[in-house]
Amino acid sequence: MIPRRLDKMSKPRKTMATVLALLHLDLHVPQAGSLKDKRRIVKSFKDRVIHRYHVSVAEVDGHETHRRVTLAVAMVGNDRDRVAGILQTVWNLAAKHRDMILIDHTIEWL
């Protein structure tokens, strides 16, 4: 079987609309008496969000403080309304979390 060459003569590919959004959550963790307590609370939240909504979550700030954390939640999709809806749901989940207080949030569209 001869592989098909991918060169300038190939048919042009259909273009897809790709949407990338980034949600930053600034959170206060008042029950955390140590970094270990904060990590436990934040890890539980991150794992739940990742598994339920299929997003990427990373702790991007507040590594050395035991009551403050900034999380970045990223999602890629092809439907802006769906991505916005899921990030809104994650934001609501953070705002209602019993062990954390949402201080601020921002959404960036890339």
On the CB side of 85, CA atoms within 13 Å amount to: 6
- Amino acid 84: pLDDT: 96
Residue-level pLDDT at 66? 87
Structure tokens at 31: 């029950």
pLDDT in tens, 40-81: 999 999 999 999 999 999 999 988 898 999 999 999 999 999
Contact 41, 32 (CB under 8 A): yes
Give the phi and the psi of residue 100 in degrees, each rounded to 5: -135, 150
CATH class belonging to 19-109: alpha beta
User: Based on the number of CB atoms within 10 Å of its own CB, is 93 exposed (0-12), middle (13-18) or buried (19 or more)?
Assistant: middle
Higher pLDDT, 12 or 38: 38
